Each structure stands twice: as C-alpha cells, then as structure tokens.
Amino acid sequence: MLKSKVAVVTGSTSGIGLGIARALAAAGADLMINGFGEAAAIAAPGDCRGPRVDVLVNNAGIQHVAPVHEFPLERWDAVIAINLTAVFLTTRAVLPQMLARDWGRIINIASVHGLVASVDKSAYVASKHGVVGFTKGVALETATTGITCNAICPGWVLTPLVQKQIDALAARDKLDPEEARVKLLGEKQPSLEFTTPEELGALATFLCSDAAAQLSGVALPVDGGWLAR
Ligand code: NAD
C-alpha cells in the first residue's frame, strides 16, 4: 500500500516508534528512522530539494514526573521542546514538499494525556494537549489538500518510558515488578492490558491509507477504555 512512499518516524529506535516504523515498512514504505544516533535529514522549511517525506510520524517524547511546585524548569523546558516544539519544527519542515505533491500524512503520537490529566505530569499533559491542538490547526490549514494530520492517543504501552514509572511505583509501594504492573494498569486502563506498539503501527498504517483520506484533525484514543470512565 505504501510502496514508493517515504516515511520518517521520530524516536523510532525503541518502543512505539519502532513498532510504527516496522508496520509502515511492512506496508512497503521506505523508512527513515531516528533516535539518539545520526541526525535524520529532513528538508529545511521552504526547501523542497531535500529528501522526500510522504509520511511524518512525530513520536519522539519524554516524561518527567513531579508535583508542579517542585517541577524543575529545565525538565519543563525539555518536555515542551521534545514533545511539542519538535512536532511543530518537523511539520514545518516537511509541509512545503507535501503541499507541492498534494499528498501527505502527518501522524502525531500524543497520549490520553492530550485529552485528560494525571497528577504530577503537568509538563507532559500540557505538551500533549498542545500536540492535539496543533494537530487540529494543521488539519484545518491542509483541509483542501491531499494531506491529513491526526493524533493517536495511546493509554499505557509497555515501553522503556513506562517501565521507568513501573519501577518507581514498585520502589515507592514496595511491590514486586508484576504487582507494580497490575497496579499501574488498574489505576487507569480498564482492559488491564497494555496497548501494544503493533496495534499502534496498524492504526498508523490505516491512517496512511486511501480509506482515511477524509479522516483529519482527530485525536484517536487507543486506551483500553481509559477515557470511558
Ligand atoms: P520510548 O522511551 O521507548 O521511546 C521514545 C523515543 O524517543 C526513543 O526512541 C528516544 O530515542 C526518542 N527520543 C527521546 N528524546 C529524543 C530527542 N531529543 N531526539 C530524538 N529522539 C528522542 O518511549 P515510548 O513509550 O515509545 O514513547 C513514544 C511516544 O509515545 C512518546 O511521544 C510518548 O509520549 C508517547 N506515549 C507513550 C505512552 C506509553 O504508555 N508508553 C502512552 C502514550 C503516549
């Protein structure tokens, strides 16, 4: 389905990004993966001569957990920069060439925290709400073109980012790893199952399909019922 399309997935050396990169590659796309290795080459704003990008998945993200009154400014700035400002920068970089070809798919990996909050995650929640708002803005600006822009809002996915939170919960409540995993899920995700990178990869692939041509500006929860409570 994506043969001859080029996809860039930020933060795709692990976790959700890797799952999405694998799914898009399986659908035939040429993949540019990105993480803490070599910088990915993306055309500069207004420069259509750079490498072609048909599908942009803004996935790279970080978390920091602390109450607002103890939240370090340096961590706040890092979360906003990586989770939100980077989404703007990559989108600005690829849009000119997508507009020139009148086709593109921009998929932002937000979170359920783009739609609701949890305690001690103020920077993350603010950044992800920002991503959902930005997604709507880009969708409106590209509404009459062949470009769509959507956000995927996962609940808990068992990746290194979440493993750190399970480890912190286990240490805080003196639980073994399995007990901590069950407690983490039980507090938020009614299915008591993690969303998987493979499921998110399948959704991203669908968003790239012709069937999703009129699907733009939405925030799609994949959260085992988290937001239904
Ligand atoms: P992860 O830690 O496994 O992956 C994050 C990726 O981002 C890594 O590949 C890392 O190298 C990359 N990254 C981090 N900082 C970067 C930077 N400055 N420049 C380039 N790459 C950078 O985490 P994950 O859970 O797979 O998270 C991926 C995305 O999904 C994030 O945006 C996260 O907020 C979101 N998300 C995760 C969950 C979850 O439960 N894991 C839930 C909802 C949303």
**What string of pLDDT tens digits covers the 229 residues of the chain?**
999 999 999 999 889 999 999 999 999 999 998 887 444 433 333 333 757 999 999 999 999 999 999 999 999 999 999 999 999 999 999 999 999 999 999 999 999 999 999 999 999 999 999 999 999 999 999 999 999 999 999 999 999 889 999 999 999 999 999 999 999 999 999 999 999 999 999 999 999 999 999 999 999 999 999 999 9
Q: Answer yes or no: do 75 and 166 share one domain.
A: no
Q: Answer yes or no: do 132 and 51 share one domain.
A: yes
Q: Answer yes or no: do 149 and 185 share one domain.
A: no
Q: Which atom of ligand 1 is nearest to the CA of 128?
A: 34
Q: Answer yes or no: do 211 and 184 share one domain.
A: no
3-state DSSP assignment of residue 184? helix
Ligand 1 in contact with 58 (CB < 6 A)?
Answer: no
Number of domains into which the chain is organized: 2
Domain membership flag for residue 90? yes
Q: Answer yes or no: do 109 and 218 share one domain.
A: yes
Q: Answer yes or no: do 190 and 202 share one domain.
A: no
What domain range includes position 181? 158-194
Ligand 1 in contact with 53 (CB < 6 A)?
Answer: no
Q: Answer yes or no: do 44 and 144 share one domain.
A: yes
Ligand 1 in contact with 127 (CB < 6 A)?
Answer: no
Looking up residue 21, the CATH number of its domain turns out to be 3.40.50.720
Domain membership flag for residue 53? yes
Q: How far is the CA of 35 from the centre of ligand 1 (A)?
A: 9
Ligand 1 in contact with 16 (CB < 6 A)?
Answer: yes
Domain membership flag for residue 1? no
**Cβ contact 68:118 at 8 Å:** no
Q: Answer yes or no: do 65 and 101 share one domain.
A: yes
Q: Which atom of ligand 1 is nearest to the CA of 197?
A: 26
